[in-house]
Amino acid sequence: DQQVKQNSPSLSVQEGRISILNCDYTNSMFDYFLWYKKYPAEGPTFLISISSIKDKNEDGRFTVFLNKSAKHLSLHIVPSQPGDSAVYFCAAVGSSNTGKLIFGQGTTLQVKP
Amino acid sequence: ETGVTQTPRHLVMGMTNKKSLKCEQHLGHNAMYWYKQSAKKPLELMFVYSLEERVENNSVPSRFSPECPNSSHLFLHLHTLQPEDSALYLCASSQDAYNEQFFGPGTRLTVL
């Protein structure tokens, strides 16, 4: 049973437009959520995170929204740039599960010039 | 060198071989992790070390044996692997076992 799901395997957007990547989770014990970005032949790179006490966290072009009642989070990238093309993973962890990040399957984002 | 490094970057081995993957972090972190990423599957946590003690062993077969001699180094010893063990093996570290994890570039392992 997959506790963190990214239902869209791929997303294509035009440069300058908004990219919205979605993630759903099932475990209500998760209280910290992270987004990672991965280029080919590299390890994932931490992008942005959000604690369950917040519903929004913003860092430059990247904003993560958390809807706890819907067990849903999303990553918004505005404006999208070709260099944002990568695989994006969401991950979740509960404070009682020390270090145990649960990852989604990833969404491949392609930003077209 | 900074960040998290992994060697080798690529490894091809037979099922009877013994090899080791090495991970080193230069971030002063206290927790280190091994993950496995198979094609079209989520990242799977294998092991967690916090302050050089193993705190998580995620039902990993005994043909994978981790070793953490100090807080900066983590090894994954491999023996009698199966072809289905072919995957990308990623090492990560974090300040403590509940902070953002920083990943190395991974070792692409192929078992023939």
Look at A101 and B40 and tell me if their CB atoms are within 8 Å. no
- How large a percentage of chain A has pLDDT more than 70? 95
Is A1 part of the contact surface with chain B (CB cutoff 8 Å)?
A: no
pLDDT of A99 reads 64
pLDDT score of B43 more than 60: yes
What percent of chain B is helix, strand and coil (3-state, nearest 5)?
5, 55, 40
- How large a percentage of chain B has pLDDT more than 70? 96
Provide the terminal-to-terminal Cα distance of chain B, rounded to the nearest Å: 33
At A94, the pLDDT band (50, 70, 90 cuts) reads confident
At A96, the pLDDT band (50, 70, 90 cuts) reads low
Task: Provide the shortest C-alpha distance from residue B17 to chain A (in Å).
Answer: 25
Q: Which residues of B touch A47 (CB under 8 A)?
A: none
pLDDT score of A28 more than 60: yes
At A97, the pLDDT band (50, 70, 90 cuts) reads low
Query: Which residue among B6, B48, B91 sits closest to A99, beta carbon to beta carbon?
Result: B48
pLDDT of A98 reads 62
Other CB atoms within 10 Å distance of the CB of residue B79:
15
Is A87 part of the contact surface with chain B (CB cutoff 8 Å)?
A: no
Look at A41 and B42 and tell me if their CB atoms are within 8 Å. no
Provide the terminal-to-terminal Cα distance of chain A, rounded to the nearest Å: 38
pLDDT score of B54 more than 80: no
Q: Which residues of A touch B93 (CB under 8 A)?
A: none
Q: Please tell me which residue, A12 or B53, carries the higher pLDDT value.
A: A12
Assigned token pair, B13:
């081995």
